């Protein structure tokens, strides 16, 4: 059994991609590293496994790695080869599967038009950009696609996913969604888009396969023995939990997935279908599109949003940001000078996987000589 008392150079709370990256980098410096994970598996929400049908699936929904950052791509490519995949998402609206992000084809179907790219650009200039300084996700989305498309594709989906009126959510929720003036059917435009061959769990296992790294699963950091000491601690969990909810709880959105396996080659027309206006689930994910596996069966996951379960997403409202700031201010006091709060949950901010890796690399570089 792993000894968890004594001293480590580095203690990392959480084995998601942020914690795994930090562990790998510090171990390469011959630092002793302890990773503490409350779940029974490593990888956080990226954890995947081969199911009863022989299909690689992700327990917590689909995850496609995408980035324009050459440094991040090269770093992860040291530990895996890649299955290159360009993600397509459809939105089921009025009995039709429409591409999202909105492209020219989607706009023409919804508007009943036959616009060229230049005509679509002209329509957008007249029917969007209504809010010079958008104050919420509704205004931000209307700025991009106009009222008509927003009402049919975005409003109900945003409300269903977050369980909050869009006008109460930060504009950043919809600011990052592009609009294509051509017929581009792909969800991301990054230079690199892929999944690690063999899955994320295999990738992360390879990254921490080092004699200086110890992994403790199924263990709560807050149950650590008092005689454990360290030079530096990196906390990637919910920041309000670290401070024992001193100022109250920050809400985190949870996701639930129901898995079904079908005796058919494919169930959906593409990797993900959103359901903004129908059903109580927000979307369905089909993993075979993402992994490229060949199998007579296919497994899909129906996704539902709720509150009160495992923490997936910070909830970006003005009120929550004020509460987070109070916790953040505590982290800047001398008492916590050797503790670093990093990652989506600790920073109460949505970040993509490549951004998580980049932030971990940058933090390591700022500390590696200490």
- pLDDT at res. 127: 87
pLDDT digits (tens, 9 = 90+) for 310-366: 999 999 999 999 999 999 999 999 999 999 999 999 999 999 999 999 999 999 999
Which structure tokens are listed for 127? 């029917």
d(CA 180, CA 34) in angstroms, rounded, equals 45
CB atoms within 10 A of CB 283: 25
pLDDT digits (tens, 9 = 90+) for 45-69: 999 999 999 999 999 999 999 999 9
pLDDT digits (tens, 9 = 90+) for 214-254: 999 999 999 887 778 899 999 999 999 999 999 999 999 99
6-42+208-251+316-367 to CATH, choices 3.40.50.620, 1.10.630.10, 3.40.50.150, 3.40.50.720: 3.40.50.720
* Rounded percentage of the chain residues whose pLDDT exceeds 70: 99
Domain boundary assignment for the chain:
6-42+208-251+316-367, 89-175
Half-sphere exposure at residue 192, Cβ-oriented, CA atoms within 13 angstroms: 20
- pLDDT at res. 48: 98
pLDDT digits (tens, 9 = 90+) for 142-158: 999 999 999 999 999 99
Q: Are β-strands 65-67 and 192-196 bridged in parallel, bridged antiparallel, or unpaired? A: antiparallel
- pLDDT at res. 1: 45
- The CA–CA distances, whole Å, from 230 to 131, 136, 233, 331 equal 50, 42, 7, 17
pTM of the model: 0.95
Which structure tokens are listed for 18? 């942020």
pLDDT digits (tens, 9 = 90+) for 263-283: 999 999 999 999 999 999 999
H or E stretch at 257? strand 252-262
pLDDT band at 17 (very low <50, low <70, confident <90, very high): very high
pLDDT band at 5 (very low <50, low <70, confident <90, very high): low
pLDDT of 172 strictly over 70: yes
- The CA–CA distances, whole Å, from 276 to 17, 67, 157, 161 equal 30, 27, 4, 9
pLDDT digits (tens, 9 = 90+) for 99-120: 999 999 999 999 999 999 999 9
Calculate the CA 271 to chain-centre distance. Answer: 16
H or E stretch at 138? helix 137-149
């Amino acid at each position: 059994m792993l000894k968890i008392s004594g001293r480590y150079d580095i203690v990392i709370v959480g084995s998601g991609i942020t914690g795994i990256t930090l562990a790998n980098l510090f171990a390469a410096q011959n630092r002793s590293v302890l990773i503490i994970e409350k779940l029974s598996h490593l990888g956080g929400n990226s954890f995947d496994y081969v199911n009863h049908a022989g299909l690689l699936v992700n327990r917590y929904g689909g995850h496609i790695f995408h980035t324009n950052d050459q440094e991040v791509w090269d770093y992860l490519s040291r530990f895996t080869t890649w299955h290159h995949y360009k993600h397509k998402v459809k939105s089921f609206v009025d009995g039709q599967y429409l591409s999202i992000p909105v492209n020219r084809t989607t706009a023409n179907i919804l508007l009943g038009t036959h616009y060229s790219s230049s005509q679509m650009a002209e329509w957008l200039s007249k029917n969007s950009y209504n809010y010079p300084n958008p104050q919420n996700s509704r205004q931000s989305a209307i700025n991009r696609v106009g009222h008509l498309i927003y009402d049919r594709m975005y409003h109900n989906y945003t409300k269903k996913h977050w369980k909050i009126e869009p006008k109460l959510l930060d504009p950043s929720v919809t600011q990052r969604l592009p609009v294509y003036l051509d017929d581009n059917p792909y969800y991301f435009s990054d230079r690199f888009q892929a999944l690690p061959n063999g899955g994320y769990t295999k990738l992360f296992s390879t990254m921490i396969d080092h004699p200086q790294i110890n992994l403790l699963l199924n263990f709560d950091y807050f149950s650590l023995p008092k005689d454990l000491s360290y030079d530096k601690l990196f906390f990637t969990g919910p920041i309000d939990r670290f401070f024992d909810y001193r100022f109250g709880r920050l809400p985190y959105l949870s996701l639930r997935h129901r898995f079904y396996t079908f005796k058919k080659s494919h169930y959906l027309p593409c990797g993900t279908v959103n359901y903004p206006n129908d059903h109580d689930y927000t979307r369905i994910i089909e993993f075979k599109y993402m992994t490229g596996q060949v199998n007579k069966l296919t497994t899909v996951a129906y996704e539902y949003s709720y509150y009160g379960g495992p923490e997936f997403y910070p909830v970006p409202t003005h009120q929550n940001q004020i509460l987070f700031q109070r916790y953040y201010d505590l982290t800047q006091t001398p008492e916590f000078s050797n503790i670093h709060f990093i990652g989506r949950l600790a920073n109460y901010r949505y970040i993509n996987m490549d951004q998580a890796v980049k932030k971990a690399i940058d933090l390591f570089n700022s500390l590696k000589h200490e």
